Structure 1
Amino acid sequence: MCIYTYSRHEDEIDLCRLEMRSFFGCDTETTILESPLKLDPNRSPFIKERIDVIYEGESLKEIVTQVEGLKLSKTFKVLFIKHSDGYTSQKVGFEERRNIERKVGLRIQGKADLQNPDVLFGIIKVNERWIFGEYFEGEAVWFKHQQKPQNYSTALSTRVARAVVNIAAPNPVGVKVIDPCCGIGTVLIEALSMGIDIVGSDLNPLVLPGARKNIAFFGYDTEVTLRDIRFVEGKYDVAIIDMPYNLCSVLDEKEQLEMLQSARNFARKVVVLTIEEIDSLITKARFDIVDRCVAKKGTFMRQVIVCQ
């Protein structure tokens, strides 16, 4: 069993929960999720850390007793994990946290190293249970991608783009993905950074040099072509379509329907991002809506719609 802790802004809760459902098949209103699935915490822009459960008990004393059987040839460090639900929401003080870490660490048979340990362990209280396990901290990979050399005013934020990629391809092994309206390449970069097989295209020749430059800037590489979505060839497992909406890209319903119908021909699953109500067009394009959320940024809202 694994314990995941989450950090998300109030505006991101809906998007975060859709990502949870995509990964784990369930979600939670809290900042703690338990699952047998072992997921790299770097995948999600919302996951802070993962603890792989080794011992659990109703009291800290039980944990202290259990770790006495843990023998290590590597150096280690024990961390008390704070989270905003339950026990730690009661503002456990610094000295108490350090005391808990010492109590547990002193019972482990091995050499502690507080600076550069080979193994990190976490101790956390969840739903009246104490849990001890190996600890893995998430890295904000998406944050580095904010520094891309070319930007586009209507592009997705890197954080939203990463979540959308996870919603589109939660299990990416052997999955072919396409972003046929790739713009400046934000979605492509997030997918490529996770090792996902993705290609991009766009009908705007002005944005493609910037997309290619952004991708190369971070050391990634993929096909980015000048192409109208209506002329995409080949078959893909999933497409991510951010429907154009700025003043230079106003589409009427007929054009939006043509985009969705084209996607139906080359992708079995589509994740659509839109600021407009297009459920009827999705249905006309012979897709079923299987899940959805609203991604907010202040008063600006995008719908994220999962279709199959």
Structure 2
Amino acid sequence: MKSGQYIYNVNYNEQDYNLCAFEVKALFDDELENKVLFTNKEIDPSVSPFLKNRIKIIYKKKTFHEILDSILADDFRANDFMVQYVAMYKRDPNISQGKKLSKEAGLRIYGYPSFQSPKIMLGITYYQDYWYFGYLKQNNFKWRAHKQKPYSFSSALGVNMAKVLINVASRGDTSKRLIDTCCGVGTVILEGIFAGYDICGWEINPKVAELARLNLTHYEYNAKIVTGDMKDIRDFYDVVIVDLPYNNFSHFDGEKQWSIIRHAKKIANRMIIVTSADIRENLYAEQLKIMDYCRAEKTIKGDFVRYIWICEN
């Protein structure tokens, strides 16, 4: 198990394992071995559909009482704070004692607690024979409201996948300029704005482009949605996201789709391509480097499959 400045825990359904592992690798450059991750990289859990909590570690001790002693010895101070026990896994033996443990730690902090609207969240947890105490950041799950956007299509990407596309595109670097060249009703755009990215969308169908704008307006988000053919894009971006039109067919063919990929190569060196079929041989034929890929399934039965390809020129 790697050590690090931060400890995260993730949660996913069985069918989402591949998608979660794909995101973790992109964000943290690490493999998903279990649902707890130690790293030195700081990521806001709310940008991910799978990250639940992040603790910036202050103390790591063998016993809970050593944690309490350290809080006292360091004269730890905070105002408007709240201490919360964080269960990193379902069978955590301390879950039932969580409130008691949180109270004991809180009583040793010099300052005024706030249980209604704390400005400082502190977390305590136990994992693999060690106790941890530190600053807690939780996924606020406000992004789930995007699942009820006013306009959508049955074949549109889900919110979870859209969030993952943003994360694998940028690797968590919010300074990256992103473009979604087949943005549809704006599912990916919504998640890009939510996570703080400079992102814009292009959509060739005027009616669909207007639906994307209406979705953005509904959440009071601001981003440019251009009605037009991506062949007319003249700017260069850090990453281009392409959810290829598949028109409910399971096979991948047609010069139209390859034209989209060839134009994507001209506006960014890094591409995130979503397809409904395995097209790796075709991507190699286009002289693209496949940096990583994921086969994502919407259900355990695997009756709705999307391939996500990370490609570079």
TM-score scaled by structure 1?
A: 0.92
The one-letter code sitting in structure 2 at the alignment partner of 1:98 is K
Partner in structure 1 of residue 310 of structure 2: 306
Q: Could you tell me whether the CA contact under 8 Å between 1:6 and 1:47 is conserved in 2?
A: yes
Change (3 A) 1:199 1:116: closer
- SS of residue matched to 1:153: coil
Correspondence 1:4-23 to 2 at 5 A: 4-23=8-27
The one-letter code sitting in structure 1 at the alignment partner of 2:76 is K
Partner in structure 1 of residue 120 of structure 2: 119
Partner in structure 2 of residue 38 of structure 1: 42
- SS of residue matched to 2:24: helix
Percent identical? 30
The one-letter code sitting in structure 2 at the alignment partner of 1:307 is C
1:75 to 71, 80, 86: 80
Deviation at residue 147 of structure 1 after TM alignment:
1.7
Deviation at residue 205 of structure 1 after TM alignment:
2.5
Change (3 A) 1:117 1:179: closer
Structure 2 unpaired stretches of 5+ = none
2:91 to 80, 89, 92: 89
Correspondence 1:48-197 to 2 at 5 A: 48-68=52-72, 69-84=74-89, 89-94=91-96, 96-197=97-198
CA distance in 1, matches of 2:95, 2:173: 41
Partner in structure 1 of residue 280 of structure 2: 279
- SS of residue matched to 2:310: strand
Deviation at residue 93 of structure 1 after TM alignment:
4.8
Cα shift readout 1:85-130 (whole Å, capped 9, x = no counterpart): xxx6145353x22232233222223333433433221111122211
Cα shift readout 1:169-202 (whole Å, capped 9, x = no counterpart): 1244432211111111101111112221111112
Quick check: 148-157 or 70-79, which moved more?
A: 70-79
CA RMSD of aligned residues (A): 2.0
Q: Could you tell me whether the CA contact under 8 Å between 1:244 and 1:251 is conserved in 2?
A: no
CA distance in 2, matches of 1:201, 1:115: 43
Q: Could you tell me whether the CA contact under 8 Å between 1:77 and 1:105 is conserved in 2?
A: yes
Q: Could you tell me whether the CA contact under 8 Å between 1:77 and 1:121 is conserved in 2?
A: yes
Structure 1 unpaired stretches of 5+ = none
CA distance in 2, matches of 1:42, 1:135: 13
Quick check: 131-140 or 20-29, which moved more?
A: 20-29
